Amino acid sequence: MKKKKNLIWVLILLIASVWIIIQHNSKKEPYRNTAGLIFGTVYNITYQSDDSLNTLIKEELDKFDGSLSMFNKKSTVARVNRNEVFDVDSLFAHCFRRSMEISQMSGGDFDITVCPLVNAWGFGFKTKHFPTDSQIQNLRRIVGYQKIKLVGKRIQKADPLMMLDFSAIAKGYGVDVAARVLDKYGVKNYMVDIGGEVVLKGKNPQNKLWRIGINKPIDDSLSVNQEIDRVLYLTDCAIATSGNYRNFYYHNGKKYSHEINPHTGYPAMNEILSATVITKDCMSADGFATAIMVMGLKKTEAFLAKHPDIDAYIIYRDKEGKNKIYYSIGMNKYFKNEQ
């Protein structure tokens, strides 16, 4: 009889233990949000976690800002542009190396040494003025990714007048930096957004794929118009968009966009209105989106065929002035909600 009672108690304890484990595992962690300003834009991060990681995320983004922000006069890139001699930090070094790789892959359509031209056209950190043809040609002599290199931990320039501008890739890298914090602490579901450049993992708070809209390329320097051209259903990837409809101005009735062609020294003038790129990391997506804006449609088609791991959704204007769509084959899997 005693053995039978002991067995009953063992079974009761076992059932209780199983119930406790089931309840613990079925407990849904809350989704949290943190937002703020960095790199001259807004960041917004949603993630599922029992613990708040907001402080840790902010600390990493502050380090990023101190390395690559053109808006921070004490940043590493600002000091490099002033020709100070010092060892660059690991964030700067990683972004520089990846920038060089994207420059090579794109045939120089992406180039972080375009800074003097960006400033000359009034899209950088100096006072806007409209440059003359001779000024543009003079500045082109100090532009070219082949003219600068990282030796050890120090930057070497072919000309001290050369300056770097990571604006076309750093936002994407900042997204990767924040996502890395979440990965480190085992977060399985999150969305990191810095100024429209995004990394997505797992599911959203409704336990569905994350939904990202591609804006119609309507001239809107104040970012008021948010008409959607297409909705994408995404997870475990990075997405970045570059376009000529946000940062631009008119001079003598002609539109000038912030996308500068490193080969000519002038704003990119082709049929592409916006380029949305999906890759594994946001730094690459950001850089390739910028490169595509410079490439033009025909070169972009050849580039994407050569690099099937890069997906892109292109909105362009045809010869009749109508908006058209071109996208890589790999984009098809993002058009349907396959849940």
Convert the pLDDT of each residue in 23-82 to its tens digit: 444 457 999 999 999 888 899 999 999 999 999 999 999 999 999 998 899 999 999 999
pLDDT for position 268:
84
pLDDT for position 24:
45
φ, ψ of residue 279 in degrees (nearest 5): -140, -175
pLDDT for position 23:
43
Residue 207, pLDDT > 70, answer: yes
- Residue 33 β-bridge partners: 46
The structure tokens listed for 14 are: 């076992």
Spell 313-331 as b/e; 16+ CB within 10 A means b. Answer: bbbbeeeeeeeeebbbeeb
**Dist. CA 174–CA 180, nearest whole Å:** 10
Q: Which region among 80-89, 216-225, 309-318 has the lowest average model confidence (pLDDT)?
A: 216-225
**Dist. CA 47–CA 52, nearest whole Å:** 9
Domain range list for the chain: 29-339
Residue 208, pLDDT > 60, answer: yes
Q: Which CATH class is domain 29-339?
A: alpha beta
pLDDT for position 250:
52
Say which residue, 248 or 31, is predicted with more confidence. Answer: 31
State the average pLDDT over residues 10-27.
47
pLDDT for position 136:
93
Q: What's the length of the chain?
A: 339
**Dist. CA 187–CA 171, nearest whole Å:** 21
Asked whether 148 and 163 are in contact (CB, 8 A), the reply is no
Residue 2, pLDDT > 60, answer: no
Q: Which region among 9-13, 56-60, 269-273 has the lowest average model confidence (pLDDT)?
A: 9-13
Asked whether 81 and 115 are in contact (CB, 8 A), the reply is yes
Tell me the percentage of the chain whose pLDDT exceeds 70. Answer: 83
**Dist. CA 209–CA 270, nearest whole Å:** 34
Tell me the percentage of the chain whose pLDDT exceeds 90. Answer: 72
pLDDT for position 259:
84
The structure tokens listed for 316 are: 């362009």
The structure tokens listed for 242 are: 């570059």
Confidence bin at 20 (pLDDT 50/70/90): very low
Confidence bin at 15 (pLDDT 50/70/90): low
**Dist. CA 194–CA 117, nearest whole Å:** 25
pLDDT for position 126:
53
Collapsing DSSP to helix, strand or coil, 92 comes out as helix
pLDDT, tens only, 121-178: 877 655 556 788 999 999 999 999 999 999 999 999 999 999 999 999 999 999 999 9
pLDDT, tens only, 85-102: 999 999 999 999 999 999
